[in-house]
Chains A and B, each alone.
Chain A
């Protein structure tokens, strides 16, 4: 009895492993066909040439990548990196105090605040960006209120600028910064903070010498979660930005749908992809050595 049930067990064990794999297959196929394959197509097309009326001519060429070295594109790459970087910085500056505050609330209030922070995020991004147009335009809410309060006499030119894009991006991705920060701060032993204060640390030293090192993994996670989507932003610069606020996302769209230069657009996409991958790699490498120095309880 024992012998046979044993072999049934092991057969069932290997069967369940197979069964596990079989369950995966449909989803896997879907992802491969509609995600992986398209990416490979993009890779391939990036080495091809533009046809006369758009379309693709399959001649291998590195021209697209060479074209990207042109300073015009370089400026847009630089601007995208800068905008993404500033957005990340802004989110960090706003997000850290907020996350710190929430982490020190009693547990039930913490849950409430976290939900409150996530709710705007789940509403339509398009709609929220439109809201900023409504507020910032020359006949918009902000100017109207300021004029009615006699604080200014001519409307401020706030929309269609880099600053507006920055605002829109920071607004959209702030929750992404707050959540990992909150998780990291929450894990820090409150006794450590008291100990630092007991040892004469002022607020800034407390942050720099104790909180910062101990929440670094969370900070990096938050930064990556904000930086990457900001890098590939399309809607925000498109709606809130001026003629000179073009970012990589807009450029890609332009090449594909306006200039119909798919190979160039694909090359652009790949460069964007590389920038994203680079950030991710840096994130993973920064995570690894933190394994030892956790929050220490």
Chain B
């Protein structure tokens, strides 16, 4: 049926660029688009690109830190939102979900101004803060989704059997919510690794992350090294997301 054809084409359209990148990262030629044999050469160049590796390390640090913050803040926030009844809840929800609706440019710009106003010098720390700010709603939404599917009577039963709030959390709520938290953490980690726009505005000199580095590489000219880098990034993103989904399935 023609519907099937169009759908297949759309799917191919979605995957074409990615496949092209991966395939051509093995191109031995410097003139990117003409295939001249299979080679691992560009991956080798990648391995020895100091600036790139430093940027990658920065990205990982930022992602790890911002994800930790976001989980520590977000899980209690999700639980708090679930427990709250009444009018206040709606407005609080709106505040928490605000970063999701803002265009990234706006967040980046606003944070930049803010840091300047309070005279906080731009650095990797500011990047961590920025990431934590826009990733928080992600964790909250995902953890809440799982909490809402939780039978409230489980907690009540625990309380009825004498458990304190903390014990209830540790023995009942946490084990049940843990997969969602892990999935959300992985997702936040991925988003942080990949973020460009907010980072672009709030990174200080010398605090380059991987996406920023890739951006300047692209701006300064095409190199097959970028293809290799892209393939690595793509495959690792897919891997991370796959993990996140697997966690959620449990």
Q: Report which A residues bind B (CB closer than 8 A).
A: 12, 16-17, 19-28, 30-32, 34-39, 41-42, 45, 94-95, 97-98, 100-102, 113, 115-120, 122-128, 130-135, 137, 139-141, 143-144, 171, 174-175, 228-229, 231-232, 234-235, 239, 248-249, 252-253, 256-257, 262, 265-266, 269, 272-273, 276, 280
Contacts and interface: CB of A to CB of B under 8 A. Distances in A.
B132 A122 contact: no
Contacts of B81: 20, 24
A36 B237 CA distance: 30
Interface residues of B, number: 83
Nearest to B31: A139
A17 B84 contact: yes
**B14, B79, B95, B229 interface centre (most CB from chain A within 10 Å):** B14
Interface in B74-133: 74, 76-77, 79-85, 92, 95-96, 98-99, 101-107, 109-114, 117, 129-130, 132-133
9 contacts: A30-B132, A35-B133, A117-B14, A122-B241, A123-B238, A132-B17, A143-B33, A257-B201, A276-B102
B157 interface: no
A237 to B, nearest CB: 11
B194 A125 contact: yes
**A17, A21, A31, A137 interface centre (most CB from chain B within 10 Å):** A31
Contacts of B140: 27
A34 B133 contact: yes
A2 B190 CA distance: 53
Interface stretch (B40-48, B49-57, B174-182, B214-222): B214-222
B104 A20 contact: no
Contact of B18 (A24, A30, A101, A128): A128
Contacts of B95: 28, 31-32, 36
B141 interface: no
Contacts of A143: 33
A31 B33 contact: no
Contacts of A41: 110, 113-114, 117
A256 B102 contact: no
Contacts of B193: 124
Contacts of A125: 194, 196
Which 8 A-B pairs have CB atoms at the shortest separation, nearest pair first? Answer: A232-B103, A20-B83, A131-B17, A27-B77, A23-B80, A24-B80, A38-B110, A38-B114
A252 to B, nearest CB: 5
Secondary structure class of chain A's binding surface, majority of residues: helix
Contacts of A229: 103-104
Contacts, number: 243
Contact of A256 (B31, B80, B201): B201
Interface of B: 3-4, 6-7, 10-11, 13-18, 20-21, 24, 31-34, 69, 72-74, 76-77, 79-85, 92, 95-96, 98-99, 101-107, 109-114, 117, 129-130, 132-134, 136, 140, 159, 165, 190, 193-194, 196-197, 200-201, 211, 214-215, 218, 222, 226-227, 229-230, 233-234, 237-238, 240-241, 245
Contacts of B194: 123-126
**B32, B34, B113 interface centre (most CB from chain A within 10 Å):** B113
A59 B36 CA distance: 62
A252 B112 CA distance: 12
Contacts of A28: 77, 92, 95-96
Contacts of A45: 113
A276 B101 contact: yes
Contacts of A137: 222
Contacts of B107: 35, 38
A269 B140 CA distance: 26
Contacts of A113: 11
Nearest to B82: A20
Contact of B113 (A26, A42, A119, A127): A42
Contact of B76 (A23, A126, A231): A23
Contact of A17 (B16, B31, B83, B129): B83
Given A139-B33, A249-B103, A119 B238 contact: yes
Contacts of B92: 24, 28
Given A36-B95, A276-B103, A131 B136 contact: no
